[in-house]
Amino acid sequence: MTIDATLGPQELLHYAQTPQGKRDPHLVYDRIRALTPIWRDRDSGMWYVFRWADCYQVLRSKSFGAPYLLQLEPRFKRSAALQFLADALSNIDPPLHTRIRSQVQGSFTGPVLRKSDEYVETVIAGMLEALRGRASFDIVADYAAKIPNTVICELLGVPRADHVRFSSWLAVLFKLLAPTPPTDALLDETDASAQSLTDYIEALIEERRREPRTDIISELVKAQANAADPLSLREMTVTTTILLAGGSDTTKTAIAIGLRQLIEHPDQAQRLLADPALAGSAFEEILRTTGAVLVANSRKALEDVEIAGQRIAAGEFVVPVLTAANFDPEKFTDPHRFDIGRQPNPHLSFAAGVHVCIGNMMARKVGSRAILSLLQAFPNLKLLDDGRDVNVYLPAMRGLNSLRVATA
């Protein structure tokens, strides 16, 4: 990709949202980082940071907290989607954040984890069997989009007949993850999905109260009987849904673009096939180079603080650009080299600190196994296009609409 050398940071921020800019977004943010480590967006007034150390500081420092911007939106009181996101873990701080997160993490009991291990293998095997004998297929539609959503839905307790519509509701909500306000049309669309999700999960929770099973929602409901400060129905509803989102759509992207990376780097693909024990570190390198989340949620300065030599006043907002941090040459040796054995690999694709992605364990488990398994089943995959059919409707994220490959 060629980037106009005359563009400044403000123009490059705009360019990053174009179809051309989203094809290889790290190259755009590389250019901005080379021009300046921090930039105040004239449109939103938010500060963007591009170096690893500065992003890490914002994500981990107690000088920054949840932005609480959604509540200031004039449409907040009528919007189910904005209210839903405002109640998500990424938009609340301790001690409320700690209380909710600890109970959700506690729902990953031994029986649930054992079920997840077995089910991941079963789902992947079934998907591979469906692809055998085909001369070509779409990695996104035929494989990556199906596996994480199927697995996490099963672990939460969502009936299989509802997996597809559940996934479609979530996909719409991802369009709201952007530093800029949504249009009225987009908000209407996301409100409908948020309300459908809320109604569905609330009904599922009530069903598990009556008939518990071996799934995360049943474990979460059971834990409330002995909890010192039980979660409300609303807290359980939003958090379990966000857990599904964190473990499904972003993992789909990691699987699809990760396989594209390996096809484009056949030496690394052969290395992984020769040593499957590298599957874990390979997935970490895939997350570093092609993580689904481009920019983290904005954080609000709780006090005056200095970032990259710039004074940030209390009450101002800072946006960590994760994909820029993950290619920072001050942190990663030869950052544009794709190395499945890279150690150490302290990427920020799941963010960091108390707001680290709650679905990261599931994403790692599902993603690494799905990529290795497809590569083992089809070791000679060839791209049928340039692999850059990007989704332009996800402002803060990257994704592919399709990735067509030939098996021979």
The pLDDT tens digits for 252-288 are 999 999 999 999 999 999 999 999 999 999 999 999 9
Q: Is residue 17 part of a domain?
A: yes
Has residue 395 got a pLDDT over 70? yes
Give the mean model confidence (pLDDT) for residues 229-252. Answer: 83
Residues with Cβ within 8 Å of 164's Cβ and at least 6 positions away in sequence, in order, are none
Q: Are 120 and 369 in contact (CB under 8 A)?
A: yes
Give the mean model confidence (pLDDT) for residues 69-73. Answer: 88
Percent of the chain with pLDDT over 70: 98
Domain count, the chain: 1
175 CB burial (10 A radius; 0-12, 13-18, 19+): buried
Q: Is residue 1 part of a domain?
A: no
Q: Is residue 183 part of a domain?
A: yes
End-to-end Cα distance, the chain? 28
pLDDT category at 179 given cuts 50, 70, 90 is: low
Question: How long a stretch of residues is the chain?
Answer: 408
96 CB burial (10 A radius; 0-12, 13-18, 19+): middle
Q: Is residue 248 part of a domain?
A: yes
Ramachandran sector of residue 214 (left: φ over 0; alpha: ψ -120 to 50; beta: rest): beta
Predicted pLDDT at 259: 97
Who has greater pLDDT, 1 or 53? 53
Has residue 246 got a pLDDT over 70? no
Tell me which residue range forms the domain holding 100.
Answer: 9-406
Ramachandran sector of residue 152 (left: φ over 0; alpha: ψ -120 to 50; beta: rest): alpha
pLDDT category at 109 given cuts 50, 70, 90 is: low
| Distance (Å) of CA 383 to CA 20, 26, 261, 279, 402 | 20, 21, 11, 22, 11
Amino acid code (one letter) for 129: E
Q: Are 259 and 381 in contact (CB under 8 A)?
A: yes
Who has greater pLDDT, 37 or 159? 37
Has residue 88 got a pLDDT over 80? yes
Q: Is residue 4 part of a domain?
A: no
Give the mean model confidence (pLDDT) for residues 125-134. Answer: 95
Who has greater pLDDT, 291 or 335? 335
Predicted pLDDT at 397: 84
pLDDT category at 166 given cuts 50, 70, 90 is: confident
Q: Is residue 235 part of a domain?
A: yes
pTM of the model: 0.91
Q: Is residue 110 part of a domain?
A: yes
CATH, residue 134: 1.10.630.10
Q: Is residue 195 part of a domain?
A: yes
By DSSP bridging, strand 317-320 and strand 400-402 are: unpaired
CB neighbours of residue 355 within 10 Å? 25
ω into 344 cis (within 30 of 0): yes
Predicted pLDDT at 345: 98
Who has greater pLDDT, 98 or 408? 98
- Mean pLDDT estimate for the chain: 91
